[in-house]
Amino acid sequence: MATRKVTINRENKDRLFNFIFGRKENQKWTLQLYNAVNHSNYRKPDEIKFNTLDNFLYVSMKNDTSFIFAGCMNLFEHQSTYNPNMPLRLMQYIAQLYDRYIAENKLDKYGKTLIELPVPRLVVFYNGEDSIQDEVTLRLSDSFDERLRKKSDIEVTVKMLNINAGHNKELMGACKPLSEYSWFVERIKQNNITNSLEDSVTLAIQAMPDSFEIKAFLKAHMAEVNNMLQMEYQEKNAKDLIAKANFKKGKEEGKKEGADKHLIQQICKKLSKGKDADTIADELEEELSVVQEIVDIAEAYAPVYDADKVFEEYCRSKEPVKRGN
């Protein structure tokens, strides 16, 4: 059977999760997801009001499904990379949603009457490669100094649910489209080991059972699905490359820092024995300019020549100078 040529729209900035669960035409699936997460049994999907923000904080891709329903401001976020900072990020996002809600409903936050707000519900659906439990609670207070956490006047909690294959079976059973989405993503990962991403998507859809609710939708939007996954994979690869580069840079900086500290310890020992910069440079086979720079700093700590303090001062001298505007 011939596969039709897919034309990819590179302007699409959505993500597959939001494309499936954040569209008005798929409100019944959004309601199933809401009911599964909240152990509820609501039956009127047309009461869901989507309110996802466009280009929030310069994010290039829509990563969330945000909607008001049953008195709650629901923010469902999909993540393929574990991020412990989600409480901070979602707090910033929900604040913007409340600003828009207040403006749209012409509410007076400066008045004497207490305004009623929808209750925030923050959920992250995770299907990355890191091993995490079925459910994890992330807290904003985890970012605070442990000694001061109890003094905080703010707390934000985020429920992170692992939706990788084999996890959260009860949740998957309660929301068939979510289970199907998880199956689809996992099949693409497996196909992508030996195939291009575009072929992996096509093969996954072909292998998808006809009983899957999301199959017809995915087939009808093949171009968009390919585009979104291409962008997601490119973004993930870029993040991985940056992380590896930072790790390598950190290791190199750590090695240099260790070498500098060892050199300073040697110089301080020789200074305590009354040796001058020329002699020390000769004995250590180091450039005189390098030794002299350290000796100049160390003189402030004579006659003890505390190597740790000299090292701290030496590091500060290497920090970039902050200039005013």
pLDDT tens-digit map of 294-323: 999 888 888 878 888 888 888 888 765 444
Comparing C-alpha atoms, which of 235, 219, 239, 224 is closest to residue 11? 224
81 compared with 103, residue with greater pLDDT: 103
**What is the rounded distance in angstroms from the CA atom of residue 150 to the CA atom of residue 154?**
10
**What is the rounded distance in angstroms from the CA atom of residue 181 to the CA atom of residue 217?**
12
pLDDT above 70 covers a percentage of the chain that reads 85
Lowest mean per-residue pLDDT among 108-112, 142-146, 197-201, 246-250: 246-250
pLDDT band at 267 (very low <50, low <70, confident <90, very high): very high
pLDDT above 90 covers a percentage of the chain that reads 56
Q: How far apart are the first and last CA of the chain?
A: 65
Instruction: Report the Cα 180 to chain-centroid distance in Å.
Output: 24
Q: What is the dihedral of CA 258, 278, 283, 273, to 10 degrees?
A: -80
Q: Are strands 72-79 and 119-126 parallel, antiparallel or unpaired?
A: parallel
CB 230, CB 198: distance < 8 Å: yes
Considering the chain, what is the average pLDDT of its residues?
86
| pLDDT at residue 285 is higher than 80 | yes
| pLDDT at residue 279 is higher than 70 | yes
Comparing C-alpha atoms, which of 85, 67, 80 is closest to residue 26? 67
Taking residues 177-183, report their average pLDDT: 96
Comparing C-alpha atoms, which of 78, 26, 64 is closest to residue 48? 26
Give the count of beta carbons closer than 10 Å to the beta carbon of residue 324: 3
- 101-108 LR contacts (CB < 8 Å, sep 24+): 101/51, 101/68, 101/73
Q: What is the 3-state secondary structure (H, E, C) of 147-202?
A: CCHHHCCCCCEEEEEECCCCCCHHHHHHCHHHHHHHHHHHHHHHHCCCCCHHHHHH
How confident is the model at residue 73, as a pLDDT?
97
**What is the rounded distance in angstroms from the CA atom of residue 132 to the CA atom of residue 311?**
40
Which of helix, strand or coil describes residue 74? strand
CB 228, CB 188: distance < 8 Å: no
Amino acid at the residue 84: P
Q: What is the pLDDT of residues 30-50, one digit of tens each?
A: 999 999 999 999 999 999 999
